[in-house]
Structure 1
Amino acid sequence: MEQKWLTWAKQIQSIAQAGLTYTQDHYDYERYLELRQLSAEMMETYTEYDMKTIQQLFTNETGYQTPKVDVRAVVFHEAKLLFVKEKADGKWSLPGGWGDVGFTPGEVAVKEVREESGYLVEARRLLAVLDHKQHPHPPSPYHIYKVMIACELIGGSAAESIETSDSGFFAQNELPPLSTGRITESQIDMLFAIHKDPSIAPVFD
């Protein structure tokens, strides 16, 4: 479960962003700016992010704040799951990333697999919609929904990308070091369980 200070910081940021968008009162605008600064100071105090980075994260969007959507492709082959090695931290995750405007979640999953691993897949079914804060991820300045989509391998071959340096299929008992900001071991265990029993309904929390 997400720590309360992080939940509060993100809620304060959300209120501030909505206020800055809709208020027509100069004095209220100043108060909302103060709220946003307070949330940024909370993040700086309790995370590894510096103030400049936090302010960029907290001010790069306008309008009513909504959760970001992280789409992950779940590609099994011969009882092994496809992972890609992230250049950002040198650890492994499922192919995926932020949802793209103009693309369905399935199209995002297919595109991310091709771009990050070199493999070609077809999206088959929704496996899970997970709330980032309900799982043991490191603290994040964003409220994130994670969408897991099962994909069928149809072709291609392993290739590096701008964001990844390697890819490979791994069995459940031989998982590589995970990029826990993107995927957790408990989520991987859930995906293997669904793969073994396709009758399990899509998971949500």
Structure 2
Amino acid sequence: MEPKWLDWAKQLQSAAQAGLAYSKDIYDIERFEEIRKISVDIMAHHTGIDKRIIKDVFAGDTGYPTPKVDIRAAVFKDQSILMVREKSDGRWALPGGWADIGISPGETAVKEVKEESGIDVKPVKLLAVMDKKCHSHPPSAAHVYKVFIKCEIIGGRLREGTETSAAGFFAETELPPLSEARNTESQVERMFAYLKHPDEPVYFD
């Protein structure tokens, strides 16, 4: 679970962003700018990151604020699950990434699996929709929904990708060190639970 200060900072940022998107009164705009500044100050105080960087990344969006969507693919072969090693931290994750404008969740899963592992898949079932802050991920400035989609292999071969240095299949009892910003051990275990019990309903927070 996220620390309360991070949750408060994100709520302040969200309120400020919505207010700046729709307010016409100059005094209201000034108040929402001040609220946004407070959210940046909170983040800077607790993280030690330069306020200019936080303002660009954490408080730089415009328009009505909505959660970001992270798509993850659960691809199985012989009771093992496909994982890729991220170049950014050297740890392993289910293939996936941010949802793109104009591409459906299923299409995103197919694209990410191919780009990160070399495997061709087709999406077959939605498994879970999780709110990142409800799970044991490291703290994140963004509010993220994580969508897990089961995919079946239709071709391709394992290879590294632009953002990944390796790809492989792992049994549930032999999982590699996980990139917990992308997926937690309990989330991967839930994917294996769906493999064992395919009629289980979709999980959502």
Q: Same fold (TM over 0.5)?
A: yes
Counterpart of 1:131 in structure 2 is 131
Match of 2:58 in 1: 58
Q: CA deviation at 1:104?
A: 0.8
Q: Distance in 2 between matches of 1:36 and 1:166?
A: 40
- Please name the residue that 1:171 is paired with: 171
Alignment correspondent of 2:14: 14
Where 2:183 maps in the other structure, the secondary structure is: coil
CA contact (8 A) 2:74 2:82 kept: yes
Which aligned runs of 4 or more in structure 1 are off by greater than 4 angstroms? Answer: none
The residue correspondences of 1:36-51 to structure 2 (distance < 5 A) are 36-47=36-47, 49-51=49-51
The answer for the alignment partner of 2:111 in structure 1 is 111
Distance 1:2 1:182 in 2: 15
**Counterpart-to-counterpart distance in 2, 1:48 and 1:135:** 24
What TM-score does the superposition give when structure 1 sets the normalisation length? Answer: 0.96
Shift of 1:48: 6.0
Q: CA deviation at 1:61?
A: 2.1
The gaps in structure 1 that reach 5 residues or longer are none
**Contact 1:47 1:139 survives alignment (8 Å):** no
Shift of 1:56: 1.4
My pick for the range that moved more, 14-23 or 29-38, is 29-38
Q: Deviations over 1:129-181 (max 9, x none)?
A: 00101100011011111000000011111122221111111111111111101
Is 2:148 aligned against 1:148? Answer: yes
Indicate how the Cα distance of structure 1 residues 177 and 52 shifts in structure 2: closer, same or farther if over 3 A, else same: farther
Q: Which shifted more, 167-176 or 48-57? A: 48-57
Tell which deviates more after alignment, 132-141 or 17-26.
Answer: 17-26
Structure 2 residues without counterparts, runs of 5 or longer: none
Contact 2:72 2:97 in 1 (8 A): yes
8 Å contact kept, 1:137–1:181 = yes
What corresponds to 1:184 in structure 2? 184
Residue-pair matches, total = 205
Query: Could you say which residue in structure 2 is the equivalent of 1:32?
Result: 32
* Aligned residue identity for 1:176: P
**Equivalent residue number for residue 157 of structure 2:** 157
Q: State the Cα distance separating 1:24 from its structure 2 match.
A: 1.0
Separation (CA, whole Å) in 2 of partners of 1:195 and 1:47: 39
**Structure 2 length normalisation: TM-score?**
0.96
